[in-house]
Amino acid sequence: MLDKLFIVLVLYKTSLEESKTIRSLCEVLDYPIDLLVYDNSPTRQYQEEYFQYDKFKVHYRHDKLNLGLSTAYNFALEFAMLANKPWLLLLDQDTTFTREYILQLSGLEIEKLSENVVAIIPKVISLEHNQMISPSKMLIGGICRPINVSAGILDKPISGINSGSILSVSYLKSMEGFDLKYSLDMLDHWYFRKIYRDAKNVTLLNSTIYQDLSILGDFEANVSFERYKQMLTAEMHFISEDGFLSKFVFKVRLLVRVIKQMRYKDSRYYKVTIKQIFS
């Protein structure tokens, strides 16, 4: 399976040396692999376009505009098609991968998967809070709750996270790539929702990876106001594609959020949320 993957890692203000993803993969990989590194950092971190880093044959791309994940993933998708790779593996910089995950991928007989399967995902647990993140179920109003399900083909709608997800290149091509409206937040929920709306399936691996998810901690300390505004916009785009009841529930959730945010030192958080409620 590994030789059928086109792998992309997105960096932001983090070097390969500092990336939890790279450090963990270096420990569990048994041989070198090709890796597209898409760097959204303000300044270029590596001068060469192609170089060897530990177990990775790196193709490095720097984009100081920082247009987000969807732009980086679409760039990777184009290269995956040129390389005739049938699957695209998404990586961020803050994931801890396990040998269990790599071994299961190595032994996965992709030919035996149903043609309807367009995504392969592991179970994901929060690194700091030791709670399950993925798979999850997206409920009305954008409420996302982790679920405990058995490995195998999941024919009921689930959602997940980007890092560690493997997506069918042909399916991504058929839906014209990743939607640029979701430059960062809600992008994963968007394509998982589309998968099931298109009557496709996801396969869940019987292996676990660990994710450092900043929004689970001190939100104000970990998520800047500018990032929160971006997040709020993405949430509104996502909910706008659902019905009236879902929008109503989301507005109620925003009202509850305002009450929490009124305790923040920065009053801009709750003010922009109130503005969104009445928009």
Q: Residue 56: its pLDDT value, please?
A: 97
**Domains of the chain, residue spans:** 2-216, 219-277
User: Residue 203 has what pLDDT?
Assistant: 95
For 158, phi then psi, to 5°, come to -135, 170
Place of tokens 């901690």: 217
Domain covering 2-216: architecture? Alpha-Beta Complex (3.90)
What length is written for the chain?
Answer: 279
Measure the CA–CA gap between 196 and 154, rounded to whole angstroms: 10
pLDDT mean values, one per 10 residues, the chain (279 residues): 93 97 95 96 97 97 96 98 97 96 89 88 88 93 93 92 96 96 95 96 95 76 91 94 92 96 96 93
Bridge partners (DSSP) listed for residue 91: 9
List of residues 6+ apart from 88 with CB closer than 8 A: 5, 6, 7, 8, 73, 76, 77, 80, 166, 167, 168, 169, 172
What CA–CA distance (Å, rounded) separates 68 from 74? Answer: 10
pLDDT computed for residue 215 by the predictor: 64
> Three-state SS string across 179-245, please?
CCCCCCCCHHHHHHHHHHHCCCEEEEEEEEEEECCHHHCCHHHHCCHHHHHHHHHHHHHHHHCCCHH
pLDDT of residue 38: 98
Taking the CA atoms of the chain, what radius of gyration do you get in angstroms? 19
Predicted local confidence at residue 243, as pLDDT: 86
Which 8-state DSSP code applies to residue 159?
B
CA atoms within 13 A on the CB side of 245: 2
- Token pair for 277: 């409620």
The per-residue pLDDT for 199 is 95
Q: How far apart are CA 128 and CA 103, in angstroms?
A: 24
- Which pTM does this prediction carry? 0.94
Report the pLDDT value the prediction gives residue 216, as an integer from 0 to 100: 60
pLDDT on residue 115: 87
In the block, tokens 């030791």 appear at 130
